Amino acid sequence: MLLQDKVAVIYGGGGHAGGAIASAFVREGAVVHLAGRTAASLEKVAAGLPSGRAHVAVVDALDEAAVDAHAHAVAEASGRLDISVNVISDQDLQGIPMVDMNVEDYLRPIQVSLRSKYLTSRAAARHMAPQGSGVIIFLGGMFDWTVSRRFSVGGMGVTFDAVESLRRQLAAELGPKGIRAVTLCTGGLPETIPAGYDGRDAITEWLNGQTLTGRTATLADVGEVAAFAASDRARTITGAALNFSAGARID
């Protein structure tokens, strides 16, 4: 198993990506702590995992005190904290030209994403550093700015760029302490588009068309890549964006 006896915290653990990552982590031997704002969604994910392998806590990843307290509680109870994953919603607004947006809507995903990722990374690193190891994982993005000529993406392009910069800084500062930092770049996940959304089919077709293989990454792929990235088999990978966009974004 890739993650035998590892202890992981997954912020956004009740969401699509969080659930997929939790499933893969548990299958590979980890114990997961699912954190998020909605107890029902967290419990639903936990119910689908083997008994005793998933723990649930209502934590707002934007709340500094709550994040610190939860990370401390996990480390105290488990004796370690090996993996921190942040896949919470960025609360972005799209579909409106940027010049027609109010500043709050434009900046919201930037502020939400950076604040939560900084807080959760800092909390984890403070426990990982003394043990000399740890892995920090985000969903990131290799943003294609030409997309903005066809779609109004709000603040998401800036958000992705900022997250990738945070990943680089974390890797540089925490590397000497044995802590790795990586981002997962999918190119888009049609499975996460709400079933009732009017443009779902068109977006799915467009996302598939951007790939070189004719099909995008799936939620299952997110789990598999995250499990590998978190494992000792990826010990030499840090500061990197793991591109599994099926060629939609060519490095």
- For the domain that residue 97 is a member of, what is the CATH number? 3.40.50.720
Walk across the sheet containing 31-36 and list its strands.
54-58, 31-36, 7-11, 83-86, 134-139, 179-185, 240-243
Higher pLDDT, 179 or 195: 179
154, 101 contact by CB (below 8 A): yes
For 118-128, the pLDDT digits (tens) are 999 999 999 99
Q: State mean pLDDT over 74-81.
A: 98
- Distance separating alpha carbons of residues 222 and 1, to the nearest angstrom: 18
Task: Report the mean per-residue pLDDT for the chain.
Answer: 93
- Distance separating alpha carbons of residues 185 and 173, to the nearest angstrom: 22
Question: Is residue 217 in some structural domain?
Answer: yes
Q: Which domain does 195 fall in, by range?
A: 7-241
Question: Is residue 169 in some structural domain?
Answer: yes
On the 0-12 / 13-18 / 19+ scale of CB atoms within 10 A, 76 is exposed
Question: Is residue 216 in some structural domain?
Answer: yes
Which of 100-104, 129-133, 162-166, 185-189 shows the lowest per-residue confidence on average (mean pLDDT)?
A: 185-189
Comparing CA positions, the residue from 183, 116, 133 lying closest to residue 6 is: 133
Quote the pLDDT of residue 146. 65
Q: What is the dihedral of CA 216, 217, 220, 225, to 10 degrees?
A: 170
Residue 186 CB: number of other CB atoms within 10 A? 26
Question: Is residue 151 in some structural domain?
Answer: yes
Domain count, the chain: 1
Q: State mean pLDDT over 62-75.
A: 99
- Distance separating alpha carbons of residues 109 and 181, to the nearest angstrom: 21
Quote the pLDDT of residue 193. 81
186, 248 contact by CB (below 8 A): no
Question: Is residue 2 in some structural domain?
Answer: no
- Distance separating alpha carbons of residues 143 and 19, to the nearest angstrom: 24
Quote the pLDDT of residue 198. 77
Quote the pLDDT of residue 144. 65
Q: State mean pLDDT over 21-44.
A: 98
For 132-182, the pLDDT digits (tens) are 999 999 998 766 666 656 677 777 888 999 999 999 999 999 999 999 999
Question: Is residue 35 in some structural domain?
Answer: yes
Residues 6+ apart with CB under 8 A from 225: 184, 242, 244
Q: Residue 192: which H helix or E strand, with range?
A: none
Question: Is residue 249 in some structural domain?
Answer: no
